[in-house]
Amino acid sequence: VSGVFYNWGMLKAQELYRKIPFMKETGRLLIAFLTAGVLGIVMPWVLGSGSGLIVSLTQGEMVLGMVVLTLVMKFLFSAVSFGSGALGAVCRGTESGAPGGIFFPLLILGALIGAVFAMAGVEFFGLAPVYVNNFVLLGMTGFFTAIVRAPLTGIILLFEMSGSISQMLSLSIVSVTAYIVATLMRSEPIYDSLLKRILKADTIVHDK
């Protein structure tokens, strides 16, 4: 469900930028730049590849409230930076924005979701803290699969990251479940949606 919401949020962010008539290249760059600047001062761990954030999660250096806040801010910043990229930049090169990639951010968001679930279990339901790391890994797998709709890629990717075959069964179950749920909710894979928008924008430009 969270993966479906992510796809919807990223595409909606693009639409919001496009609906603002005066929002040209400079405006998009400025919004993304200012947002990154503010976060760099108050929450610097939200920026970057997220490797340090993963280490903090797996070593138990963050409390539940901080993880939830980081999850929300990471999602919003991903939407701001990714949505600022104009579709025309890809197909015509006439406009540009400041789009951030989605691969690493979605993995970090998945890890945060898994951590929130596990830490809530530890705090309210007596789950052993040792399982938090497992849920971080499972969260990354499920979130990636729901968004990209590539279960085998998700399983292999996270298997390589963990370096252990002991997680293969749980990774497979989570990945397949995420795939089925996203399909039943009729959420289109994010890259398919972006490709269709690029082709549509290119067609409009050629027609003009």
Q: For 48-73, what is the mean pLDDT? A: 87
CB 112 within 8 A of CB 57: yes
Q: DSSP labels for 96-164?
A: ---PPPSHHHHHHHHHHHHHHHHHHHHHHH---GGGHHHHHHHHHHHHHHHHH--HHHHHHHHHHHHT-
pLDDT of residue 60: 82
User: What tokens were used for 148?
Assistant: 């990209």
pLDDT of residue 70: 93
Q: How far apart are the first and last CA of the chain?
A: 39
CB 97 within 8 A of CB 86: yes
pLDDT of residue 207: 53
pLDDT of residue 24: 65
The candidate with the shortest Cα–Cα distance to 189, out of 98, 102, 105, is 102
CB 177 within 8 A of CB 142: yes
Condensed to tens digits (0 to 9), the pLDDT of residues 88-132 reads: 444 333 344 444 567 788 889 999 999 999 999 999 988 888 889
- Rounded CA gap, 157 and 106, in Å? 13
- Rounded CA gap, 135 and 22, in Å? 44
The candidate with the shortest Cα–Cα distance to 58, out of 111, 109, 107, is 111
- The DSSP letter of residue 95 is -
φ and ψ at 62, to 5 degrees?
-125, 140
pLDDT of residue 72: 94
Distances (CA, A) of 80 to 7, 12, 103, 108, 203: 14, 10, 15, 16, 26
- Half-sphere exposure at residue 114, Cβ-oriented, CA atoms within 13 angstroms: 26
- Rounded CA gap, 16 and 18, in Å? 5
